[in-house]
Amino acid sequence: MRLHEYQAKRILSQVGISVPRGQVATSVSEVRQIAEWLGTRVVLKAQVLTGGRGRGGGIRLAHDAAEAERIASQMFGMEVNGYIASRLLVDEAVDIEQEIYLAITINGLGNVYHSPAQPAIVTSSRGGFEISDLAQGEPEGVYVREIDPLLGLREYQARELAYEVGLGREQSRQFVSTAMGLWNVSWGNDATLVEANPLVVCPNGELVSLNARMTIDDDALFRHPNLSDLRDESQETAAERLARRHGICYVRLGGNVGCLSNGAGLAMATMDALRLRGIKAASFVDVGVGAQAAKVMVGLRLALNGSVGAALVNILGGVARCDEVAAGILGAYEELDLSIPIVVRLEGMHKQAAYAALAEIPRQHEHARLYMAESLADAVQQVAALVQPNGGR
């Protein structure tokens, strides 16, 4: 779960990391109040859970409260990469002498044959550095130190990095305390990424985290109820919300065949197989390993979300029993009286019983167009015949 910038900054400031003075606003009048309270030039920042805000017009400077109000009225409701800005962070504008990148993340970088799979601290004196560039190795001007999780980040490691990015003694002290703070935030909150980027040196010599990014491990949210409460549901579509609440992974892809599978690998392989026939998947729906009937039912609803021409259910059962999956499909028919063609391919325990149950569906639901497949290749061929006028040939 990614946090908003204003939420991440609040957490950073709690461990003593300097952030610009500022507050989050949900209305134009609030923006004006905050800008008046700050009494300086202000930066208005759209709170959207995506990168590339600057390019998308999501970060703007205002010289006074009146201008802030005017700009805010344009920014509320704006869309950046498909995310709607319903909150603006109003920060005091800060003069910058130097920009630094600083982050704590998990280093999955391969070390010859083995992944260290350890936390790492990453810093760079380069502006505009992106953490994902690390996958290409350690580019010039980027410094990485692995952190032994049993020891935690040590101050000497942070000191070494401060000198490597070329900071003087006074800024190095602040850098070390910022780094230690980031480490504590990361480890204490099960964050897989905490970024102070840019961390800037101001003319008065102070180090300030101008922007902050934080991603919490979804699998660890159960032990951080206070962080779960920070979830901004307005940043999700209704379908995404439904999926999350049922523990289903759902990604909208924009094609015209909804795909439902168990396991990410199989789901992706199904999409890939469709693509070979020139068919684009409408969605990626992964109901996970031990999928029960109720979960399959929701998954099918998600796969049929939007304007799809057909759906493909491809499930290989281990723990997921085929008859459970069939019960979920039947449930979806009872609830929705579906007429969109659905091709089903099941393999695993209790497959015969499952196919026998599915064969009954068209007898009970006159609009049902349900087709059974014997393999993935067979399923894809049947889907092609349904959605392509030439049968995919």
Partner 1 sequence: MSILVDQQTRVLVQGIATADGLAYVQNMVAAASTIVAGAAFGLGGTWCGSIPVFDTVKEAVRATDANAAVVCGRGGEAAEAILEAADAEMALIVCMPTDVPVHDMVLVKARLRNTPVCLIGPGSHGVCSPGKSNVGIIPPYMVRPGSVGIVSRSGSLAYEVTWMLTQAGIGQSTILSIGGGLVVGSGFAEILAMFEEDPATEQVVLIGEIGGQQEEMAARFVADRMSKPVTAFVTGQTAPPGRQMGHAGPVIEELAGTARYKTEVLKQSGVRVARYADELPGLLVERM
Residues making contact with partner 1 (CB under 8 A): 106, 108-110, 112-115, 117-119, 131-133, 135-136, 148-150, 187, 190, 192, 217-220, 222-223, 249, 251, 253, 261-269, 271-276, 280-281, 284, 286, 288-290, 316-319, 347-349, 376-377
Give the list of residues 6+ apart from residue 276 with CB closer than 8 angstroms, or none: 380
**What single-letter DSSP state applies at residue 135?**
G
CB of 275 to partner 1, least distance (A): 5
CB of 194 to partner 1, least distance (A): 12
Known catalytic residue at 195: yes
CB nearer to partner 1: give 180 or 322.
322
CB nearer to partner 1: give 79 or 148.
148
Place of tokens 């999409």: 271
CA distance 285 to 69: 42
Query: What strands, in cross-sheet order, belong to the sheet with 249-252?
Result: 249-252, 281-286, 257-261, 310-316, 342-347, 370-372
CB of 175 to partner 1, least distance (A): 24
CB of 321 to partner 1, least distance (A): 8
CB nearer to partner 1: give 124 or 172.
124
Would you say 137 and 114 are in contact if contact means Cβ atoms under 8 Å apart? no
CA distance 200 to 117: 29
CB nearer to partner 1: give 9 or 252.
252
Known catalytic residue at 324: no
φ, ψ (nearest 5 deg) of residue 230: -80, -5
Q: Catalytic pick from 6, 83, 101, 371?
A: 101
CA distance 324 to 296: 8
CA distance 340 to 369: 7
CB nearer to partner 1: give 204 or 352.
352
CB of 60 to partner 1, least distance (A): 24
**What single-letter DSSP state applies at residue 34?**
H
Would you say 379 and 261 are in contact if contact means Cβ atoms under 8 Å apart? no
CA distance 136 to 116: 16
85, 68, 60, 59: which is closest to 32 by C-alpha?
68
Dihedral angle sign, alpha carbons of residues 244, 247, 250, 256: negative
CA distance 232 to 211: 19
CA distance 265 to 278: 20
CB of 5 to partner 1, least distance (A): 18
Q: Catalytic pick from 83, 195, 250, 324?
A: 195
CB nearer to partner 1: give 113 or 204.
113
CB nearer to partner 1: give 66 or 117.
117
CB of 218 to partner 1, least distance (A): 8
Q: Which residues are annotated as catalytic? A: 101, 195
